[in-house]
């Protein structure tokens, strides 16, 4: 066994000795691509979402230098008709680019050293093969001698783009190396039975074209049909919760939110495993990083970025165009590029049907709040503090304080400055009450009674907060808002709720440019 050629199955063996969630169905998928035009696969997903474990699993299955049959007994791939056909049948080249980048002192020599070290192991394994000057040619010489093809697995393919993001010459040299392996159809078809690359970022683009265009890519914005392998699925998390005794609803609130194709809810594997092992909910995934990386991007001076962050902190979805992103951390030209990058980093989730992004769960939301309250966005930090005070004032039925806090949100520059209807007022209310996402589920225009309640904040499970029923008026009266709540029987329609209900009427007077508020407790 070598460092790069046929590394064995030790990595996967260590995983299956512990609590292992069966993701071997990915092997069945890759088996169907062997030797076909779809044989090049690139899967990108955030850190701590199981990329390296999947790569080690594939090594264990295909590597002909070891016997991995016992490791896969009882797992789903063992029932696949293709299981016996390809088990431990190939030479496997495994490249951990993150490890390699950290082990080379002279960054400029990374690509040259990578080729030389892998070629040295291949030549030692096949000394009779013709000596060549590049890795692609060396593998072609082995094929000419033996007829063998290789499985090539590259873990964290984009590490060089992240660690040397300013060294354009080195990046281009690295792309030429990859093209030499995977873009030259005359050589690639001879030497590669399949390739599997992982990364945080999709393959680098130049303009609208992928730098290595023959790969079939599965990303956080387009994962189908591999969505179940991106992270833990809901049934898998329910089973872990049952074993650990943790309440699934709390695990869901903290770690759910990445809703991929076919309405597949995906959970962060690192966080779920930490929580169920420790039997305690907490912020585990983001502890493996630093929120400085999040701060770096949300503090960029891109038009509309600040407003988008505030809206998402309040629970809203923000529409974006993911197509302009160049799949690197340097070429950031717009708000949409920033938000798309945050999707790939796992800080945002992407709704492919709405083409919108949002903060997926409580764990990530904590990180956003921490980043904006310690960063340069002082106006957002002030807005969060003001929102905390607004919620407290609402619960205390302090009408003047509520009106003043909404006025503050209106003038903070994160929402429409000029109202022209109740819809514009509603956008400010979403911002003003953004702290409610900690304790409440917000529903806009909820069918209730004889009409639609403008904004309803339902307390989350185990919360002792009252339900907030908010009616908005533009150029009318706050008492009229309360009257509409009563006349339309909104509270009566919520009678099955069973808890305390506060009715909140808010009006904006365009002449005086003042907000007013009326709050009453609903008496059953």
- Per-residue pLDDT of 414-451, as tens digits, reads 554 455 556 667 777 877 887 787 788 887 777 766 66
Confidence label for 370 from pLDDT (cuts 50, 70 and 90): confident
Confidence label for 207 from pLDDT (cuts 50, 70 and 90): low
Q: How confident is the model at residue 456, as a pLDDT?
A: 86
DSSP letter for 49, please: S
- Per-residue pLDDT of 153-198, as tens digits, reads 999 999 988 888 788 899 889 999 999 899 877 789 999 999 999 9
What span, in angstroms and rounded, lies between the C-alpha atoms of 41 and 218? 8
For domain 10-218, give the CATH number: 3.40.50
* Token reading at 225: 């049909």
Sign for the pseudo-dihedral over CA of 208, 213, 218, 219: negative
Question: What phi and psi values does residue 431 have, to the nearest 5 degrees?
Answer: -70, -50
Confidence label for 511 from pLDDT (cuts 50, 70 and 90): confident
Confidence label for 375 from pLDDT (cuts 50, 70 and 90): low
Confidence label for 117 from pLDDT (cuts 50, 70 and 90): very high
| Residue 38: Cβ-neighbour burial (10 angstroms; 0-12, 13-18, 19+) | middle
Nearest CA among 425, 455, 414, 423 for reference residue 312: 414
Confidence label for 383 from pLDDT (cuts 50, 70 and 90): confident
Listed in sequence order, the residues at least 6 apart from 408 whose beta carbon sits closer than 8 Å to its beta carbon are 383, 386, 432
pLDDT over 90, % of the chain: 50
Confidence label for 374 from pLDDT (cuts 50, 70 and 90): confident
**Which residue carries 């905390």 as its tokens?**
388
- Counts of helices then strands in the chain (DSSP H, E): 23, 18
What span, in angstroms and rounded, lies between the C-alpha atoms of 323 and 171? 21
* Token reading at 26: 């990915």
Q: What is the mean pLDDT of residues 199-205?
A: 86
- Per-residue pLDDT of 320-351, as tens digits, reads 999 888 887 778 889 999 999 999 999 999 99
* Token reading at 323: 């197509």
What span, in angstroms and rounded, lies between the C-alpha atoms of 469 and 489? 12
Mean pLDDT, all residues of the chain: 87
Q: How confident is the model at residue 312, as a pLDDT?
A: 85
What span, in angstroms and rounded, lies between the C-alpha atoms of 484 and 340? 42
Q: What is the mean pLDDT of residues 90-116?
A: 91
Question: What phi and psi values does residue 227 have, to the nearest 5 degrees?
Answer: -60, -35
What span, in angstroms and rounded, lies between the C-alpha atoms of 397 and 283? 33
Cα distances (angstroms) measured from residue 176 to each of 112, 153, 208, 264, 424: 11, 17, 18, 37, 52
For the chain, how far is it from start to end, CA to CA, in angstroms? Answer: 75
Nearest CA among 122, 118, 120 for reference residue 177: 118
Q: What is the helix (H) or strand (E) element at residue 367, kind and residue range?
A: helix 362-373
Sheet holding 91-96, edge to edge: 91-96, 150-155, 192-199, 40-44, 216-218
Same fold, 10-218 and 378-521: no
| Residue 225: Cβ-neighbour burial (10 angstroms; 0-12, 13-18, 19+) | exposed
For domain 378-521, give the CATH number: 3.40.1350
Q: What is the helix (H) or strand (E) element at residue 235, kind and residue range?
A: helix 234-244
Q: How confident is the model at residue 403, as a pLDDT?
A: 92
Confidence label for 393 from pLDDT (cuts 50, 70 and 90): very high
Q: What is the mean pLDDT of residues 142-152?
A: 95
What span, in angstroms and rounded, lies between the C-alpha atoms of 322 and 294? 18
Question: What phi and psi values does residue 79 have, to the nearest 5 degrees?
Answer: -90, -5
What span, in angstroms and rounded, lies between the C-alpha atoms of 327 and 418? 37
- Domains of the chain by residue range: 10-218, 223-375, 378-521
What span, in angstroms and rounded, lies between the C-alpha atoms of 358 and 348? 6
Q: What is the largest CA-CA distance in the chain?
A: 91
């Amino acid at each position: 066994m070598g460092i790069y050629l046929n590394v064995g199955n030790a990595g996967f063996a260590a995983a299956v000795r512990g609590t292992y969630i069966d993701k071997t169905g990915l092997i069945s998928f890759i088996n169907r691509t062997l030797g076909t035009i779809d044989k090049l696969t690139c899967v990108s997903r955030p850190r701590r979402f199981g990329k390296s474990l999947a790569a080690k699993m594939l090594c264990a299955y295909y590597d002909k230098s070891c016997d991995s049959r016992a490791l896969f007994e009882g797992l789903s791939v063992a029932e696949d008709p293709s299981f016996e056909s390809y088990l431990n049948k190939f030479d496997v080249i495994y490249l951990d680019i993150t490890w390699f980048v950290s082990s080379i002192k002279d960054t400029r020599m990374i690509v040259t050293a990578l080729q030389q070290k892998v070629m040295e192991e291949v030549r030692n394994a096949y000394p009779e093969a013709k000596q060549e000057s590049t890795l692609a040619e060396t593998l072609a010489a082995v094929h000419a001698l033996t007829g063998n093809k290789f499985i090539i697995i590259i873990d964290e393919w984009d590490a060089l783009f992240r660690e040397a993001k300013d060294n354009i010459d080195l990046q281009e040299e690295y792309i030429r190396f990859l093209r030499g392996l995977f873009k030259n159809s005359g050589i690639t078809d001879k030497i590669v039975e399949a390739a599997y690359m992982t990364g945080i970022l999709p393959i680098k683009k130049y303009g609208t074209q992928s730098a290595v265009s023959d790969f079939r890519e599965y990303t956080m914005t387009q994962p189908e049909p591999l969505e179940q392998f991106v992270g833990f699925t809901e049934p898998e998390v329910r089973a872990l919760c049952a074993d650990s005794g943790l309440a699934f609803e709390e695990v869901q609130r903290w770690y759910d939110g990445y809703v991929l194709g076919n309405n597949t809810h995906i959970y962060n594997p690192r966080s779920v495993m930490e929580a169920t092992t420790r039997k305690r909910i907490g912020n585990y995934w983001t502890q493996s990083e630093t929120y400085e990386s999040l701060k770096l991007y949300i503090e960029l001076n891109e038009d509309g970025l600040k407003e988008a962050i505030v809206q998402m902190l309040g629970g809203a979805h923000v529409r974006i165009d993911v197509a302009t992103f160049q799949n690197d951390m340097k070429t950031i030209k717009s708000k949409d590029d920033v938000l798309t990058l945050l999707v790939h980093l796992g800080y945002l989730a992407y709704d492919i049907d709405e083409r919108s992004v949002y903060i997926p769960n409580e764990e990530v939301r904590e990180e956003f709040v921490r980043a904006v309250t310690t960063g340069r966005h002082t106006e957002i930090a002030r807005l969060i503090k003001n929102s905390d005070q607004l919620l407290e004032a609402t619960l205390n039925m302090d009408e003047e304080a509520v009106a003043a806090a909404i006025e503050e949100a209106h003038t903070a520059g994160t929402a429409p400055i000029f109202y022209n209807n109740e819809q514009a007022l509603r956008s400010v209310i979403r911002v003003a009450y953004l702290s409610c996402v900690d304790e409440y589920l917000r529903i806009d225009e909820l069918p209730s009674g004889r009409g639609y309640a403008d904004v309803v904040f339902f307390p989350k499970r185990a919360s002792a907060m009252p339900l907030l029923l908010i009616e908005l008026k533009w150029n009318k009266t706050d008492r009229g808002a309360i009257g509409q709540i009563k006349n339309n029987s909104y509270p009566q329609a919520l009678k099955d709720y069973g808890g305390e209900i506060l009715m909140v009427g808010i009006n904006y007077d365009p002449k005086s440019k003042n907000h007013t508020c009326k709050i009453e407790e609903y008496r059953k």
